[in-house]
Structure 1
Amino acid sequence: MQLIFSGKDRYTFHSERWKRGYNPDLCIVSKDHNGVSLHAQRSVLNNFRKSQHRPVHIQIGIQIPLVKTIPKPKWDFRKVNWPAFSKSLDDNIRWIDTTVNNYERFIGMVKGTAKRYIPRGYRHKYIPCWNEESDRLYAEYQRNGQAETADKLLESLAKGRKDRWTETVERLDFKHSSREAWNVLRRLDPCQNRDGSEPEIKPNAFANRLIETSRAKIDKNISRKLTMDLKVKKTRAVENSQ
Structure 2
Amino acid sequence: MSVWEVARKNIPRGCRKQYIPCLNEESKQIYDLYIAAYNVDPFSEETIQLGEDLTTLLADDRSERWKELITSVDMTHNSKKAWATIKRLNSEKNVQTRVAAVTPNQVANQLLQNGKPANKEKGHKKRLKGEME
Give TM-score, length-normalised by structure 1. 0.29
Query: Which structure is larger by alpha-carbon Rg, 1 or 2?
Result: 1
Name whichever structure is richer in strand by fraction: 1
Give the TM-score taking structure 2 as reference length: 0.50
Larger fraction in helix: 2
Q: Which has the higher contact order (CA 8 A, sep 6+)?
A: 2
